[in-house]
Amino acid sequence: MTHIAHGTTTAQVLDGVDRNILLSVENLVMRFGGVTAVDGMNMTVERGEILSVIGPNGAGKTSVFNCISGFYRPTSGSIKFLAEEITKTRPSEITKMGMARTFQNLRLFKDMSILDNVKTGLHSRIKQHWYHAFLHTPSFKKTEHFIDETARGWLEFVGFSGDERVYVTQLPYGEQRRVEIARALCTSPQLLLLDEPAAGLNHAEKRALIELIRKIQALGVSIVLIEHDMGLVMDISERIIVLNYGKEIAVGTPEEIRSNPLVIEAYLGAEEGQAADATGADVELLADEAEIDEALEEIEAEPEKRGH
Ligand X SMILES: Nc1ncnc2c1ncn2[C@@H]1O[C@H](COP(=O)(O)OP(=O)(O)OP(=O)(O)O)[C@@H](O)[C@H]1O
188 contacts 5 by C-beta, under 8 angstroms? no
Instruction: Burial-class residue 160 by CB neighbours within 10 Å (0-12, 13-18, 19+).
Output: buried
Shortest Å distance, C-beta 152 to Mg ion = 31
Secondary structure (3-state) at 240:
strand
Near ligand X in 246-285, by CB under 6 A:
none
Exactly one of 12, 14, 280, 302 binds other proteins (CB under 8 A); that residue is 280
Starting at the edge strand found earlier in the chain, the sheet holding 99-101 runs 99-101, 191-195, 222-226, 50-54, 239-244, 247-252
Binding mask 36-75 for other proteins (x = CB under 8 A): ---------------------x-----------xxx----
Near ligand X in 95-124, by CB under 6 A:
104
63 binds, among Mg ion, other proteins, ligand X, none (CB under 5 to 8 A by kind): ligand X
Shortest Å distance, C-beta 40 to other proteins = 26
Exactly one of 17, 199, 249, 285 binds other proteins (CB under 8 A); that residue is 199
What are the residues facing 46 on neighbouring strands? 21
Exactly one of 43, 83, 184, 212 binds other proteins (CB under 8 A); that residue is 184
Exactly one of 36, 44, 62, 150 binds Mg ion (CB under 5 A); that residue is 62
Q: With binding defined as CB under 5 A, does residue 188 bind Mg ion? A: no
Q: Give the nearer residue to ligand X in terms of CB position, either 31 or 152.
A: 31
Strand ranges in the chain using DSSP code E only, listed in sequence order: 21-32, 35-46, 50-54, 76-81, 84-85, 99-101, 191-195, 222-226, 239-244, 247-252
Exactly one of 36, 44, 62, 188 binds other proteins (CB under 8 A); that residue is 188
Q: Give the nearer residue to Mg ion in terms of CB position, either 62 or 260.
A: 62
Q: What distance in Å separates the CA atoms of residue 24 and residue 170, rounded to the nearest whole number?
A: 39
Q: For 196, left (φ over 0), alpha (ψ -120 to 50), or beta?
A: left
Q: Give the nearer residue to ligand X in terms of CB position, either 164 or 248.
A: 248
Binding mask 104-123 for Mg ion (x = CB under 5 A): x-------------------
159 binds, among other proteins, ligand X, Mg ion, none (CB under 5 to 8 A by kind): none
DSSP 140: H
Contacts 24+ apart (CB under 8 A), 279-288: 279/230, 279/231, 279/234, 281/230, 281/234, 282/230, 282/258, 285/258, 285/259
Near ligand X in 25-54, by CB under 6 A:
32, 35, 37
**CA-based radius of gyration for the chain:** 21
Which positions lie near Mg ion, rule CB under 5 A?
62, 104
Which positions lie near ligand X, rule CB under 6 A?
32, 35, 37, 55, 57-63, 104
